[in-house]
Amino acid sequence: MNGKRLKLVGGLAVALTVIGGLGATGAAAAPGAPGPRYTAGSQGAGDAYFPYSGNGGYDVSHYDLDVTYTPPAAAPAPLEGRFEGVATIDLVATQDLDRFNLDLRGMEVSSLTVDGKPARAIAPPAPGAEVDGAAYWHVQDDEERIWELTVQPRPKIKKGQSVQLVVEYGGTTTRPLDIEEAPYGWWTTRDGAMVVSEPDGSMTWYPVSDHQTDKASYSFAITVPEGKVAVANGVQSKPEQTAGGWTTWYWDAPDQQASYLTTASVGDFELRPTYTSTSGVPIIDAVDTKITGNALTNTNASLGLQPQMIDFLESRFGPYPFNSYGSIVDNDSVGYALETQTRPVYSGSAGQGTVLHELAHQWFGNAVSPERWADIWLNEGWATYATWLWTEHRGGITAQQAYNNWYAPARTPAYWSFQIGDPGALGLFATQVYNRGAATLHALRVEVGDEAFFAGSRLWLERHNDSAGTAEDFQAVFEEVSGEDLDAFFQTWLYDQVKPPATWTLP
């Protein structure tokens, strides 16, 4: 923590100074001291890669997002949209709160109330300064990656108390590129927006505790110019309504959801009739009407397999975890896909392997999320391994052959020295996270045997359902089902900076 940062964060430096880090929540009450001790909630969730993402001192139970969005005008107008939002956030305090933070990036707040009581906007106060009455302030520092909206509620909030926060905000949306130069957040497109926020881009479009350790349910009312279609997570809670040239789309996502998995994509979509998996999961697809020719043929073939893919993954890993499924296929930004909960986003077209990959994430990543971003191999390794299993199931090469194809070729020392168990913020989506991640799971299967491997997979999903887990939690599950000590195994696969020593082959 350098002096510059302390200075830049202004009033937030108090919390930093007191806690000397981001995971703790301030001075504790002295033993036997009477009454509550109100302190500031932490300004981060404690993630080593994104120290200011997420917040402490409360748990969000629900986000209700009411958005009015005007997409860019036709070229050559700039690719910028106009965004107005009202976020209604239900949260429960987990400590006696004097202040608490939300993450919000690139938007301006115009009003904020706590349980209906207005707070006034002020400039960030000096470190340690007292602030009178209910107030809020917003620190935005792109260089230091600090985007913190601080709320000082009055009266103060007691531990266990439920409060409702209403934030009115808005701004101009653009096309941010962030971690690994990927689309980030409310990614403005000529016809709308492709909303993809992994790992911490949700703060570009709503005030949020932007970390997967604080999951919540969501509801949406997205108002767009008549003719545009807005598709979010979950199901339409009521039919869209049109008045005065604007259409409002209502979506409801009642399952626990990590912030990076939220979407509300807008475009010239064909919202297709709902169909179902064998197990009855409703599937709702939205495909950009500008996708034609081979891209449309391929997309339709892949989407047509979704019911069988759900059947297959349910047979291996247990029931599909959410209330609905389906895909959003946008014609913009070719090559990006994200497993947004219940409704992955694809760009350009949706290939079969990618569709299986994003579907597999609903179990691995969405129902059970990586507790730290360092645990990303649990997402991408599993989704990749699921495609190996699917290919075998469809009569293609076996998972063992896919493993051999990965293991056999000579690769650079740089490839092998990459630690998938600690890839760094800029290495989250490195190819090794996907391929060595999948190979790790195959080797684990060889190590413990098929029975323990699939039993362990299900136990992992059950134990951490609607929540998150770490690589250590994962190891513990497989030690439990196999009775083996797996320290050396995970050291080799997640951390050793060399090629794992031998081919792992199924009997």
383 part of the interface to Zn ion, by CB under 5 A: yes
Distances (CA, A) of 441 to 1, 60, 374, 403, 448: 37, 33, 17, 10, 11
DSSP state of 492: I
179 lies in the binding site for ligand ARG (CB under 6 A): yes
339 binds ligand ARG (CB under 6 A): yes
Distances (CA, A) of 357 to 274, 337, 352: 21, 10, 9
Cα dihedral angle (258, 260, 261, 267), rounded to 10 degrees?
150
Task: Kindly indicate which of the ranges 20-28, 241-249, 332-340, 470-478 contains the residues binding ligand ARG, using the contact rule CB under 6 A.
Answer: 332-340
Query: What are the structure tokens assigned to 76, written together?
Result: 């050559």
**Stretch of 56-64, 178-186, 208-216, 486-494 lying at the interface with ligand ARG (CB under 6 A):** 178-186
When asked if residue 291 is in the footprint of ligand ARG (CB under 6 A), the reply is no
- Closer CB to ligand ARG, 353 or 500, in the complex: 353
268 binds, among Zn ion, ligand ARG, none (CB under 5 to 8 A by kind): none
Which part of the chain contacts ligand ARG (CB under 6 A), choosing from 210-218, 223-231, 335-343, 474-482? 335-343
| Residues 6+ away with beta carbon under 8 Å from 354 | 302, 337, 346
Min dist CB 347 to ligand ARG, Å, is 11
- 230 part of the interface to ligand ARG, by CB under 6 A: no
Span near Zn ion by CB under 5 A; candidates 75-83, 245-253, 374-382, 477-485:
374-382
**Contact between 146 and Zn ion (CB under 5 A)?**
no
Contacts with ligand ARG: how many residues (CB under 6 A)? 11
Touching ligand ARG, residues 345-364 (CB under 6 A)? 357, 361
Judged by CB under 6 A, which stretch of 27-35, 83-91, 333-341, 414-422 contacts ligand ARG?
333-341
- What mask of x and - would describe binding to Zn ion in positions 334 to 353, judged by CB under 5 A? --------------------
Report the distance separating Cα 335 and Cα 455, nearest Å: 34
Query: Which of the listed partners (Zn ion, ligand ARG, none) does 98 bind, with a CB threshold of 5 to 8 Å by partner kind?
Result: none
Pairing of strands 135-141, 146-152: antiparallel
Q: For residues 325 and 278, give the distance between their C-alpha atoms in angstroms, rounded to a whole number.
A: 13
Residue 413: CB atoms within 10 Å: 10
Q: Which parts of 321-416 are beta strand (E)? A: 328-330, 337-338, 345-347, 368-370
Min. distance of Cβ 423 from ligand ARG in angstroms?
Answer: 12
State in angstroms the smallest separation of the CB of 121 from ligand ARG: 33
How far apart are CB 298 and ligand ARG at their closest, in Å? Answer: 18
Give the pairing type, strands 368-370 and 467-469. Answer: parallel
By C-beta, is 105 or 361 nearer to Zn ion? 361
CA distance between the termini of the chain: 52
Does the protein bind Zn ion through residue 131 (CB under 5 A)?
no
User: Which H or E run includes 173?
Assistant: strand 162-173
Q: Are 403 and 78 in contact (CB under 8 A)?
A: no
Give the footprint of ligand ARG on this chain (CB under 6 A): 179-180, 182, 198, 337-339, 357, 361, 383, 429
Give the footprint of Zn ion on this chain (CB under 5 A): 380, 383
